[in-house]
Structure 1
């Protein structure tokens, strides 16, 4: 058996020896990436497809030129797309070595042209899992066990593309698949709120983020805003990631942009399509649009604030209004008629966008 991040024993030793005192973990993003992300590391990417993707952290990883990375995630879109684009343009500057994942695309925005480019040209190692399998692997890492039994791979041929093993259950005699624990060297996670110690609350789906944080050796947590510790602990059952699992806290408003961050902003369809179009042009042989995109939005800026300064204000305002109004409408309808006549978020988005 080989491990692409920390071994279970190494991960346990790191957790045991960590300073678990309540201390101020606020850092600048560039400092956090410099300290915790090294060449050759396995990076656990949180979020799901284009929701709460740690885009700001990924942009900084690209600017600092981290290389030979292994990326471990359930389903992702924008975070890995940005890394793929950087590698496609110049693999000596930033590169991916291996992927352990279930899905990489953009759902309603289409497939990933840059994943297609990397996969078809054989530039990255691929280990294929289902979404549940990757969740289970992070769960095993969070629990401190070296593997976890699971039935789901047995009904498919996905086991031919990964390191899972089959054994006979000692209790039932039936076959069961064993999935190796995932212990990324470092996790990058974006959330809505956190305190200075690293306790955080996640609004909306959790996307296995707590398990990724607990499974990783180190965790960089970016957040829309840092709030008072008392605000976090006044409802302790809502603390989704505890402070002792976090090593750096960075306040980065719009840290998941151009993706969605539930209750803060919706997807920026226009900007996502701009990135996708540049990636598709690259795949077909035209480098210029992707080069221009990375120069303009990543390499010529120092941080997320400068990146956002290049986006039209009305564009940012629109995605905030859509998300906040969707959020309020959904909850008001749910309260008024128990959801009997509730519209889906997609229907509400179309209605609000058209001004009706």
Structure 2
């Protein structure tokens, strides 16, 4: 067995020695990436497909450049696609070595052009799992277990694509699938609300985000809104990720854009196709649109505020207007307005 992040023993030792004090964890996003994300790291990408993807963190990683990354996620779209695009444009600055995943695409917006490009040209390693399997691997990591038993997907060819082991159960004498724990070096998480200590409140589906944070050596959290600690602890049962699992907290309104953040803003149905179309043109041999996209929206800005200010105001207002649910606070307004 080999481990692509921390081994279970390394993770247990690391977490035993980790500073779990309640302290102010606010730093800039640039500082967080500089401090915690290193070449060769295994990055646990939270969110689901294009919902609550850690886009602000990924854009900063691209600006700083990181190589030989392993990406571990259940189902994702925009975050790994952005990292793949950066690799396609300049593999000397940004590169992905491996993906451990269940799904990489954009659902209603189409399949991932760059996953297709990278795999067809044998540029990355892939380890294929089911959605439930990846969730279970993070669950094992969050519990400090080296593996977790699972029945699925034993009736498929999935065993040919990953490190799972089938053994006879010592209690039933029937075959059972054992999944290796996943311990990323760094979890990348976006939530709606957090406090300065790192407690996080997620509105809507959790998407295995708590397990990814608890399984990882370090966790960087961006939040749409930083709230007072007293407000957070007023409803302790709503704390989705506890402070001791988090290393850095950065308030980044629209930190998941152009994906959605439940209750605050919907997917941008104009911008996601704009990005995906540029990726598809690259796959077909036209580099210019993707390079132009990155030069304009990622390398041409310092932060998410500047990125959002490049988007037509009407698009930002629209994704706020159509997102179902109750607005968490009236303070959510268009950046720069």
- Per the TM superposition, whether the score is higher than 0.5 is yes
Which band: TM-score by shorter chain?
A: over 0.9
1:245 aligns with 2:245: yes
Structure 2 partner of 1:351:
none
Which 5+ residue runs of structure 2 have no aligned equivalent? 328-337
CA separation in 1, counterparts of 2:326 and 2:124? Answer: 43
Choose 302-311 or 73-82, whichever is displaced more.
302-311
Q: Residues 188 and 328 of structure 1: is their aligned pair in 2 closer, same or farther, counting only changes over 3 Å?
A: closer
Structure 2 partner of 1:125:
125
For the residue of structure 1 that corresponds to 2:298, the secondary structure is helix
Instruction: Return the offset for 1:150.
Output: 0.5
Correspondence 1:1-356 to 2 at 5 A: 1-323=1-323, 326-328=324-326
Instruction: Return the offset for 1:58.
Output: 0.2
Q: TM-score, normalized by length of structure 2?
A: 0.96
For the residue of structure 1 that corresponds to 2:223, the secondary structure is strand
CA separation in 1, counterparts of 2:161 and 2:221? Answer: 31
For the residue of structure 1 that corresponds to 2:133, the secondary structure is helix
Task: Name whichever structure is richer in helix by fraction.
Answer: 1
Alignment length, in residue pairs?
Answer: 327
Instruction: Return the offset for 1:153.
Output: 2.0
Q: TM-score, normalized by length of structure 1?
A: 0.91
CA separation in 1, counterparts of 2:104 and 2:298? Answer: 21
Cα-to-partner distance string for 1:96-123 (whole Å, 9 max, x where unaligned): 0000000000001110111110111110
CA separation in 1, counterparts of 2:7 and 2:305? Answer: 37
Cα-to-partner distance string for 1:116-141 (whole Å, 9 max, x where unaligned): 10111110000000000000000000
Instruction: Return the offset for 1:179.
Output: 0.3
CA separation in 2, counterparts of 1:20 and 1:192? Answer: 23
Instruction: Return the offset for 1:328.
Output: 4.9
For the residue of structure 1 that corresponds to 2:154, the secondary structure is helix
Cα-to-partner distance string for 1:162-186 (whole Å, 9 max, x where unaligned): 0000100000000000000000000
CA separation in 1, counterparts of 2:90 and 2:248? Answer: 29
Instruction: Return the offset for 1:14.
Output: 1.4
Alignment root-mean-square deviation, CA? 0.9
For the residue of structure 1 that corresponds to 2:188, the secondary structure is strand
Cα-to-partner distance string for 1:48-91 (whole Å, 9 max, x where unaligned): 00000000000000000101000000000000010010001111
Structure 1 partner of 2:334:
none
CA separation in 1, counterparts of 2:326 and 2:95? Answer: 41
CA separation in 2, counterparts of 1:260 and 1:236? Answer: 25
CA separation in 1, counterparts of 2:106 and 2:153? Answer: 24
Which 5+ residue runs of structure 1 have no aligned equivalent? 330-356
Structure 1 partner of 2:332:
none
